[in-house]
Structure 1
Amino acid sequence: MRIEYFLFTIYLLLSFWLIPKISFIKHSNLTIPETWILFTFKIVSGIAAAFYFETISTNVDYLANNAEGNIQYQLLVSNPKLFFTDFTIDINTYGLGSVFETKDSFWGYLRFNLLYKFIAILNLITQGNFYFNTIIFCSIVFFGHIAFYRIYSEIYKGCKLTILFASFCLPSLLMYTSCVHKDGIIFLSIGLVSYIFHRFLSSPRSLNIKYALFFLLGMTTIFLFRNYVIIAILPAMLTAMLCKVLRYKKRFVFLISYSIFFLLFFLSGFSKSFLNLPAAVVQRRADFAALAGANTDIPMNSLYPTLQSFIFNLPQAINHSLFRPYLWEFSQLPVLLTALELLMYQLILLTFIFFRKKQPIVINDFNIFGFAFLFNMMLIIGYTIPNIGAIVRYRSIFWIYLIVPALCNIDWRKWSPFQKIKPL
């Protein structure tokens, strides 16, 4: 028996024993059997995703990441000092500027270097086995799902099954957080940050230094692996905080806050540093366009770092991030399945609009944050990414902020098939 198979068995047994005992899991109000079922589902989904990316998909990123991780593993075992210090090569070459650049930048290359080194450390146990790496990664990302479940189970009492479904079973979220990639790391990080921010909004006195340290860890990880997400999450947090503390109507505070952030975004265009955000968006779009050649590329209008150009491109950005792909757009089965998933989300939103619960609408402060964060990310994705496959992957980890509240606010009893069924 190869050693990694033996270690794989030991790891699974230890995980099933340890996971239910971890405090964060125990306080989720999930029973041990429920925790085992959810954990098993995540692991099995990860194995299925690994098989798909290894044998069927034309997306080679995951296998390429694993191969780069193996190279870093060889460096780790042969020259540990260089493994932990070779970041300085890029610092000496490119300096610490160009924070939001994707090439010729220390920060642009750091996210890949960290990912490869993370895989190399996993390889100390897995010996580079793609499936074993996937299993360990899934068991880590599992805590991101739990974080969102805990958030929404506190907001929506009595909707346990609905929240579990939306927290664990959204198809593209499940797919792209299974194998080792930046998406799973970002999902785990925003789950951690969102949970602590929810605690801050709902019961600030319950926070302590532990929460502050984990919040800092989550934000730092987001910055290191996908730094532009910080530009989306900070305004969303500030908006939610203002809605909480100001005594005006939340809609009014939300609109005023966004108007100010909108103004600051374009005023940053006068900066000659990396804080020139319109120029950063345009450059990121150009970097993605330079990768053109994939079979799901879509045409995009020219974008310039001006207010007029951003307004002109706004409808296209919203269309690309929220409504593509269309069912009839591509013949490839994976794209068709993605279009069906998007159609399902659109039907959920329509159902919410026409069959929502009659109780007075009270906008939860965390949902203000979630909606704002989702909207910000969809704009960034829509403005910068000219490829359907990349759009689907990048937005997959943010749908949860919209789908869970929509599902939990639908009055299923208004549908005749559900009239005799109690709400989930």
Structure 2
Amino acid sequence: MPLPTACLGLVPILTTIDFLLLPFFILIYTGGFWAFRNWRYKDPIVRRYFLPALWFRLAGAFLTALMYQYYYGYGDTFYYYQGVVDIFNAFFRSPITGLEMIVSNYDNYSGEAKDALTYHLLFRQNSAAAVIRTGGFFSLFSFGSFIGTSFGITTLAFLGNWMLYRVFTDIYPKLHLPLAIAVLYVPSLCFWGTGVMKDPLSLAGLGMFVYGLYFLVYKRNRGYILPILALIIGLYYAAVIKAYIALALMPASLVWITLLYKEKIENKTLRMLMGPVLLVFGTAFGALALMQLGSISEKFALENMMVEVVRTQWWLSVSTERDGGTGYSLGMVEPTLMGMLKTFPAAVNVSLFRPYPWEARKVIVLPSAAEALFTLFFTLYVFFRVGVLSTLKALFKDPTVLFCLIFAIIFAFAVGFTSMNFGALARYKIPALPFYFSALVILLSYKKK
């Protein structure tokens, strides 16, 4: 039986008001994005995917709200929403205080702002505070309702995914349909990548960062304002919400941009000679950036992260056994670099291809098992269809495929190593999926050529 939220001292996330406001918000978001689509996109091929992708996300946001309210009865989203309610109430008592809670860090809060908080600890944690402050902003335009706040964060994630899709279709315009499926319509993205949670903000940050990087540094045909804003907002969410997103994204994106620039060299001989040089330079620069990141913030330091993930791994294993649920084990892991690397194949495998059907001990895990099984079969199909040699050639020939796989595999390792629970894994791994599936559909296109 789920523990009633009243016993936890939390406000419920769904009330009668939310159900009454649901049709209103659906109409508002549909009308607003319909007008935006008609103004922004003239290409009928691009336009056809926009609104359906939005509707899938809004449906996912509503379904996850029902799940947390009536199936689990508790969870992080309740605590985040309590913080959102604190901001909303504070704003209508004193707009200055409410805005302060949205734009300032906890350490800089005034006495009035701190007095408005129910749970101070959440605002001290940067990742949780980012969710709450973002939700607090959207709550001001949604009457403080959970469903309106949830739709706001969900559409932010959708826009991030849409930006990622626009980058990929700019490079591969003929793959608009398979890339739409890979980036916009993956079921777990449309379900777990929604709501008042960290995961949709991770998706938003990733897509915006890639968009900003591509159109600001490489393509430069979209002006400067939007790419710069996308890059800043994307980097903020990617780094603050989950540290290992930045750690996976930094080397992958630097290798990607470096190799894209190599393709601009017209002289074939010079291009061949410069390729390895630029790749080594980009990799070294990425490693240097990661070390610098660790010196700026202790949580990004490799040794601190290794200790933390082993500690997290132990706790999730204990809590899974306690709850009698859906855990998995990678064996005993030492908090050293070599100890982590030994688990690399198993961690990547569990992120992308598990739970296997026989490991789905709860109904809630069955969709994840089905998607993981599809991912396994689709991966095997692509590699058998394209061939090992052609796949390797494509990796060296196509910077975007290499970028997608580097990020997806590093991220899959980080998530598989830390989750230790199939329920948590279903949420945590979703940022890797659009990159992994995009790499597969691009590889498959080489065979069709």
| CA–CA separation in structure 1 for the residues paired with 2:192 and 2:259 | 33
| CA–CA separation in structure 1 for the residues paired with 2:296 and 2:47 | 55
Q: Which residue of 2 aligns with 1:199?
A: 215
| 1:66-99 Cα shifts (integer Å, max 9, x gaps) | 233223333333355555556665579xxxxxxx
Q: Which residue of 1 aligns with 2:191?
A: 175
Partner residue of 2:162 out of 138, 146, 150: 146
TM-superposed CA distance for 1:198, in Å, is 2.9
Range 240-249 or range 346-355, more displaced: 240-249
Is 1:115 aligned to residue 131 of structure 2? Answer: yes
Q: Which residue of 1 aligns with 2:363?
A: 333
Q: Which residue of 2 aligns with 1:418?
A: none
Range 394-403 or range 135-144, more displaced: 135-144
Q: Which residue of 1 aligns with 2:55?
A: 40
**Mapped contact 2:360–2:369 kept (Cα < 8 A):** no
Partner residue of 1:285 out of 289, 310, 315: 310
Identity %: 19
Range 368-377 or range 278-287, more displaced: 278-287
TM-superposed CA distance for 1:9, in Å, is 5.1
| CA–CA separation in structure 2 for the residues paired with 1:28 and 1:324 | 38
Taking a change above 3 Å as real, the CA distance of residues 176 and 106 of structure 1, as seen in their structure-2 partners, is closer
Taking a change above 3 Å as real, the CA distance of residues 265 and 110 of structure 1, as seen in their structure-2 partners, is closer
Residues 182-331 of structure 1: pairs in structure 2 closer than 5 A: 182-200=198-216, 203-204=219-220, 207-245=223-261, 247-248=271-272, 274=298, 276-291=301-316, 292-294=318-320, 295-331=325-361
Partner residue of 2:93 out of 75, 78, 82: 78
TM-superposed CA distance for 1:272, in Å, is 11
| CA–CA separation in structure 2 for the residues paired with 1:310 and 1:28 | 47
Please give the TM-score of this superposition, normalised by the length of structure 2: 0.75
Partner residue of 2:407 out of 355, 373, 376: 373
**Mapped contact 2:247–2:290 kept (Cα < 8 A):** no
Higher relative contact order (CA 8 A, sep 6+): 1
Is 1:349 aligned to residue 379 of structure 2? Answer: yes
Amino acid at match of 2:180: L
Is 1:15 aligned to residue 29 of structure 2? Answer: yes
SS for the counterpart of 1:39 is: helix
SS for the counterpart of 2:196 is: coil
Amino acid at match of 2:59: V
Partner residue of 1:363 out of 394, 397, 401: 397
| 1:227-247 Cα shifts (integer Å, max 9, x gaps) | 332122111122223333454
Range 395-404 or range 235-244, more displaced: 235-244
Structure 1 unpaired stretches of 5+ = 93-103, 415-422
| CA–CA separation in structure 2 for the residues paired with 1:19 and 1:151 | 20
| CA–CA separation in structure 2 for the residues paired with 1:365 and 1:200 | 17
Equivalenced residue count is 403
SS for the counterpart of 1:299 is: coil
| CA–CA separation in structure 2 for the residues paired with 1:262 and 1:317 | 23
Partner residue of 1:386 out of 416, 420, 429: 420
TM-superposed CA distance for 1:263, in Å, is 7.7
**Mapped contact 2:153–2:196 kept (Cα < 8 A):** yes
TM-superposed CA distance for 1:401, in Å, is 0.7
**Mapped contact 2:209–2:231 kept (Cα < 8 A):** yes
| CA–CA separation in structure 2 for the residues paired with 1:392 and 1:402 | 15
Q: Which residue of 2 aligns with 1:66?
A: 81
**Mapped contact 1:278–1:306 kept (Cα < 8 A):** yes
TM-superposed CA distance for 1:21, in Å, is 3.8
| 1:156-208 Cα shifts (integer Å, max 9, x gaps) | 23233222222222111111112121111111111111123233565246552
Taking a change above 3 Å as real, the CA distance of residues 378 and 226 of structure 1, as seen in their structure-2 partners, is same
| 1:276-327 Cα shifts (integer Å, max 9, x gaps) | 3133232233145335413223334444443432333334433333333222
Is 1:395 aligned to residue 400 of structure 2? Answer: no
Structure 2 unpaired stretches of 5+ = 1-15, 110-119, 263-270
TM-superposed CA distance for 1:216, in Å, is 1.7
Q: Which residue of 2 aligns with 1:420?
A: none
TM-superposed CA distance for 1:64, in Å, is 3.6
TM-superposed CA distance for 1:262, in Å, is 10
Taking a change above 3 Å as real, the CA distance of residues 85 and 37 of structure 1, as seen in their structure-2 partners, is closer
**Mapped contact 1:107–1:224 kept (Cα < 8 A):** no
Instruction: Provide the aligned C-alpha RMSD in A.
Output: 4.0
Please give the TM-score of this superposition, normalised by the length of structure 1: 0.78
Taking a change above 3 Å as real, the CA distance of residues 143 and 307 of structure 1, as seen in their structure-2 partners, is closer
| CA–CA separation in structure 1 for the residues paired with 2:66 and 2:192 | 13
**Mapped contact 1:355–1:411 kept (Cα < 8 A):** no
| 1:203-224 Cα shifts (integer Å, max 9, x gaps) | 2465524422321221122223
Amino acid at match of 1:161: L
Taking a change above 3 Å as real, the CA distance of residues 146 and 28 of structure 1, as seen in their structure-2 partners, is farther
Q: Which residue of 2 aligns with 1:97?
A: none
